Amino acid sequence: MHEYDDAVLKCFVDNQLQLFPEEVADTLEEAESFLEEVMAVVVESVEEVIEFFEEEGIDMDGATGEDILEAAEVFDVGDGRYLIVEG
């Protein structure tokens, strides 16, 4: 089980519409339940985001780190970490 701290949960609640057509969580508790359910991942760097996509077999076709960070599934927590949510 992943541990999602308040910074990660708040990031998801504030930015969830970048990935979903409507809100899936109103509170930090709902966000935590949702992220656990979809097995969202928190990584420590852009390199780890790229590594995650490669391991998942997602074809990035020469995408740069910047391109990958613009993917709807990638949320910038704001402290150097990224939340990856596979919708």
pLDDT tens digits along 7-66: 999 999 999 999 999 999 999 999 999 999 999 999 999 999 999 998 988 777 777 778
Which residue ranges make up each domain of the chain?
6-84
**pLDDT tier at 1 (50, 70, 90 boundaries)?**
very low
User: Which letter does DSSP use for residue 84 in this model?
Assistant: E
pLDDT tens digits along 50-67: 999 989 887 777 777 788
End-to-end, the C-alpha distance of the chain in Å comes to 18
Indicate the burial class of 22 (C-beta count within 10 angstroms; 0-12, 13-18, 19 or more).
exposed
- Say what the pLDDT of residue 66 is: 82
pLDDT tens digits along 67-81: 888 999 999 999 999
Residue 43: in which H helix or E strand, if any?
strand 41-43
Q: Is the pLDDT of residue 3 over 70?
A: yes
